[in-house]
Structure 1
């Protein structure tokens, strides 16, 4: 990757920001080495790694990355027979413990959340289990680097002797400093240590009283630190025991170092993997901080950045813009006023490209695309040099000459103020020639310019489009919005008028402007007006379409539920009727039996065939079982002929509508809500006549006719925005009186599903929350039932 472009686009600043999120020195080292890759497979792998880490952050908030150290120098020293210090051994044990914590965390996460994390799981499996070595070290050394008595039986015995000897020495010295002459001869009644030997502070004039060895004196020379003759032998013994202690400690450290050497391969592998994991999570944490998303990566030169922000600008200050190129056009020429955001747009494209190729998420909305380029070139900023006798124009040309030597079809080239710093006519001609040269090589090109000659450049070249940064004449300030397809127009006259310049001066100035220039400005003004009108029309049409689709879905769903409930009610009624008839038949049989008995006993005049006829009439009273679901047939009103404007009931849907026009002998066009449909006349039933009127359009603001859908689609939404929409939708659904609704969140990683369900379970008006069944969308849908 071009080193100058990395510097110009301030990629180093991005690395510095990512380093703030590193949990260890290993992650810090990896971030320092982070560079954009030109391999599609490698970039895709890096993006997937960062995305997995981001998934863990969304679900658990982080990964336990504490206690990781760069132990590679320690391990390599043991491989050549070196002995490690206690703290170096503690760092090795701590790193082993960190790898164990990560394994346990991953196992629990995958088991509880049932999510797929193939990259992290593979790294977890590659880390060897070195728990015995961890215990071996921590059994001998505490976390502060102190060798424990339990490290060996010999060390425990030596230290017991040391403590016993120290106790005897202190007893001797305690008796000395408590003697009746001590207050006179000692500077202070304390026992202290000099050169690892116990001493007492004696005044200079009494040095001969205690004898022994002088080890030190005070800065004034008035106090001597003397080891009395009576304890010299005790101190000598204590010194010997401490030397033995040190020898035993060195022996223990050497044994532990040998144990480390035996596991050196696995330890070095663990360190590499922990560095990778820390690096992954550093990138993911940085992405979360700037509200970034994973882009779709390609190698066809296609860039589509949805609401892209410059990553080095504060989130609240940066203006988000849609930037796209590589399909219908491969070159963009941006015009507009100074401080309007042209250079920021240029840097946003270049820096997002470098970040994506380094595996970083981008400050864009979901669904964005970015291409892999073999090289990125940027000529941005004024690099004039007094030492090299380079003017602004010359410094730009030096860079451009270098770019033209190397740029090809795999390049992204960014030119800022192309051709600036020289005669406008010659500069514009050079700019056009340079753009043609780079564009003809197949490179992706974005250039900014002030030259009016380049405003028509995009209209004369295939694959080139004009763009501009918007300027608000009313506020005399730029809006920083990028408008692709519309060249920038001069605002000098409008600004001068707003600032109070007299009209006759402005009119006089306009007379000097050429006819061609006026025509171009008029064309640009017309384009801006058409663009704004088209944007508003598109928005309105999109809102109408979305409402119509939602209403259509709701109607279908309601009709399906109606027919299901209708048949259920019919079936229950049939079962109840059958039960009543069966009960009546049983009672009738008893009556018939009693009549027979009566006839036999008392010769009553009741004929057998009369009894049989009575039974048949009872059996015929039972309702016949349903042959299946049948929709109602139309009952055509024979008393009145249907006319346009009549209110009718559409029997197949059970909905009322208004007749519009008769489209054939047997069909009518019917308005049902916001839907128009053709319906057979036999399916219509007249209700009442009304004055003919055009159907009312769907209200664009909430009112009594405001429609609340039975479903809320959250796919593609950010996590926080989705939860806000759920809150509002539940309130609307409750006001609409719905008994239940469906929330579509998709399957994905499951983070959105978990967040939605957790929020709904805590809602006071929600009775039950469940996943959709197979016919309702499965785990991609949550069904909510209200109290």
Structure 2
């Protein structure tokens, strides 16, 4: 491309066309190099020519490339034959990798949405705590509690336009579908979901000019299709039921449709604007009203779902805030029927009561949390105190034993010296005998003083314990009976229903008078036992929960309770599984089972003791 031939080229480069090396030659010198023209530029001023001089080289290159392709094909063919022998194993590995990839994707989605694992209910009911629509910005979404199937089977949601009714409807259906698809749901711990055979939804406006369908017609088409397939295992979600036609006829039709679905036993959530359906929520069993909260001060929705309260018509208040003449608004209020006024008054009262109940609930929860924290601090302090007292007693005992050992050693030495002198025939002088007698008297006096030491007296009592003796177990502060001697320093002590293995350092033998007092104290203690009938382990770490469970069982066995409740929550299931394993191993447990659905379900276990 350089030298004397460079002037014939458009650019002094070598390029590739059709996998062959060519040079860009000016149009007027196309025959200068001979060879083959493979392409030309868009303007036609440049031709891409394969010079005759390199034709053999390009041909050789193409042959080598063809041989390379053949070799690649041969190698892949051989690898395919080798892989065919392991086809079944490869299929299993591919399926396992696909499953792992799917699980990883679900885990990443759950982490991104801060989702939790819901429990599965067995009675077609669900309870979503702090449910959030997964497609709304997490910083803006409003969480709501949505429950259906336990206290009521039908929810009628009313409220202003753009107030969040439809989003609430979609949130309930979408989270239920996510759970049935094996996904974690964007809701708080403790939520539960059902398993429906079908989830039917009529949401949105599906007008069609081609099919001559109005809003009302499209809704009715969907509802007719749902009515053909609905069962007692179905969930039905309908947005603006009966809308798009005459209000009076639409309301009557909506009531009849709801009655049909209720007879089928389906679970139902519908949204509506009709005031007649507010009364429907009060006149039918297992049916409740709900509404989306509206802030009159700001004239904007809060998107909070209020269960049990129908939506209030805010037209008059909004009109006043926007500056409409007072006489016009007052005239409209006079035109309202007495029935409508009664309904609005009832709604106002319900709103006030609900607000008061919510505030009281928050105050009680705060007080309960503080009481639990204080109880834990007191228990921890008591444990530390008992540990320190035991350490002090052990230290004092060791010191007393050390003094006794030294004095006995000294006495043995004096006796040994006198014996040695007598064996050698030496005369023991009077002053030596007097000195030895003085030392013996001094030792006896010190041993007498030590004998009065309370710790040594306790030690002596411990070493003279027999089967049937009444003793006090120091670590538990309870009185029991020695039922068996397990070793030189180990005993089995019966405390009511339980039997403990203790060392002689952990017990005090009681005198006859003390036995009667201890018996009275034990009886009084059992009568006035403050053992609680339930234990709440929620929010605790696994190790902490297991320690508290073991300590709680010691307490209830001493108190004489026959039935207790262990509240472990649902969560990840670690504490629940630990509780079940502990109860299975505990020989004092007669039976245990999950609590009824209205008392905690799988979040609590009821235990019956032997």
Q: What interval of TM-score do these two structures reach, taking the shorter chain for normalisation?
A: 0.5 to 0.7
Residue in 2 that maps onto 1:524:
347
Other-structure match for 1:333: 156
Contact 2:23 2:48 survives alignment (8 Å): no
**Whole-angstrom CA distance in 2 between matches of 1:715 and 1:215:** 82
Q: 1:715, 1:746 within 8 Å by CA — same for their partners in 2?
A: no
Report the number of matched residues.
475
Structure 2 alignment gaps of length 5 or more: 463-471, 478-519, 522-526, 530-535, 543-567, 576-610
The aligned residue for residue 544 of structure 1 is 367
Deviations 1:114-163, CA, capped at 9 Å, x for gaps: xxxxxxxxxxxxxxxxxxxxxxxxxxxxxxxxxxxxxxxxxxxxxxxxxx
Does the aligned pair in 2 maintain the 1:187–1:201 contact within 8 Å? Answer: yes
Q: Secondary structure at the match of 1:465?
A: strand
Classify the secondary structure of the residue corresponding to 2:51: strand
Of the candidates 270, 273, 279, which is equivalent to residue 447 of structure 1?
A: 270
Mapped pair 1:618 → 2:446: yes
Is 1:251 the counterpart of 2:74? The answer is yes
**Corresponding residue of 2:180:** 357
1:421 aligned partner: 244
Bigger mean CA deviation after superposition, 241-250 or 318-327: 241-250
Mapped to 2, the partners of 1:476 and 1:392 lie a distance apart of: 28
Structure 1 window deviating more from structure 2 (391-400 vs 189-198): it is: 189-198
CA distance in 1, matches of 2:324, 2:79: 87
Query: CA contact under 8 A between 1:194 and 1:216: conserved in structure 2?
Result: yes
Instruction: Give distance in 2, aligned partners of 1:615 and 1:563.
Output: 35
The 1-side partners of 2:314 and 2:8 are apart by: 97
Give the Cα separation in 2 of the matches to 1:417 and 1:203: 75
Over the residues paired in the alignment, what is the CA RMSD in angstroms? 4.4
The question of 1:601 aligning with 2:424 is answered no
SS of the residue aligned with 1:354? helix
Aligned pairs for 1:132-281 within 5 A: 213-214=35-36, 219-220=44-45, 225-228=50-53, 244-281=67-104
User: Residues 386 and 550 from structure 1, CA distance in 2 versus in 1: closer, same or farther, beyond 3 angstroms?
Assistant: same
Question: Structure 2 vs 1, CA of residues 424 and 232 (structure 1 numbering), >3 Å: closer, same or farther?
Answer: closer
Residue number in structure 2 paired with 1:576: 399
Q: Is the 8 A contact 1:202 1:226 kept in 2?
A: no
In the alignment, what sits opposite 2:320?
497
2:288 is equivalent to residue 465 of structure 1: yes
Look up the SS of the partner of 1:511 in the other structure.
helix
| Shift in alpha-carbon separation, 1:217–1:604, aligned structure 2, 3 A | closer
Shift of 1:263: 3.5
- Deviation of 1:427 (Å): 1.9
| 1:600 partner SS | coil
Q: Helix, strand or coil: the match of 1:621?
A: helix
Aligned runs of 1:82-97 on 2, under 5 Å?
none
Query: Shift of the alpha carbon at 1:612?
Result: 5.0
Q: Which deviates the most, 398-407 or 342-351?
A: 398-407
Match of 1:562 among 385, 405, 420: 385
Which whole-Å CA distance do the structure 2 matches of 1:382 and 1:563 have between them?
A: 71
Residues 204, 223 of structure 1: 8 Å contact kept: no
Question: What per-residue deviation string (whole Å, max 9, x for no partner) do you get for residues 185-222 of structure 1?
Answer: 88888777777777788889999998x75555864478
In structure 1, the gaps of 5 or more residues are 1-173, 634-665, 668-676, 680-710, 718-743, 752-787
Q: Residues of 2 paired with 1:330 and 1:309: CA distance?
A: 22
CA contact (8 A) 1:471 1:477 kept: yes
* Match for residue 533 of structure 1 among 356, 360, 363: 356
Q: Distance in 1 between matches of 2:203 and 2:528?
A: 62
Aligned to 1:15: none
Secondary structure of residue in 2 paired with 1:333? strand
TM-score (norm 1): 0.52
Give 1:437 deviation, angstroms: 1.1
Q: How far apart, in 2, do the equivalents of 1:384 and 1:187 lie?
A: 64
What SS is found at the alignment partner of 2:128? strand
Deviations 1:630-677 (A, max 9, x none): 69x9xxxxxxxxxxxxxxxxxxxxxxxxxxxxxxxx99xxxxxxxxx9
